[in-house]
Amino acid sequence: MVDELIETKDGLKLRKLVELKTTTAEEYQEAMIDRVEYFKKQNQQKSIFNSTIQNVVVQSLSTVLDLKIQAEKALGEENVKKVQEFLDQFLLFGL
């Protein structure tokens, strides 16, 4: 976007738009996306340890959840209720 600076008699400064390109919004969008990617890469380099720990924790939780779902499918609905009742009784006994 090209503009001209105009000063009025009162000393007020105005910008007069001389040319408006149709690609201006696209250029600004690309610049913003490039900036976001730059900071994303910078943060990844700073926190490789945190990213690794976070990935391990998420993968572990995902694996545990998958195992739980597979166990429930294998046991069937009736047996799952029995196991849950047993665990409830066991945990209450520990209190």
Q: Given CA atoms 71, 74, 80, 83 in this order, what sign does their dihedral have?
A: negative
User: What ranges do the domains of the chain cover?
Assistant: 1-46, 55-95
Rounded to 10°, the helix 77-94/48-75 angle is 120
* Model pLDDT for residues 55-71, shown as the tens digit of each residue: 888 889 888 888 888 88
Residue bearing the bigger pLDDT, 14 or 48: 14
* Model pLDDT for residues 75-93, shown as the tens digit of each residue: 888 888 888 888 888 888 8
Least confident of 11-15, 26-30, 36-40, 45-49: 45-49
24 and 2 Cβ atoms separated by less than 8 Å:
no
Q: What is the DSSP letter of 44?
A: H
The CA distance from 59 to 38, in Å, is 27
* 10 Cβ contact partners less than 8 Å away, ≥ 6 residues apart: none
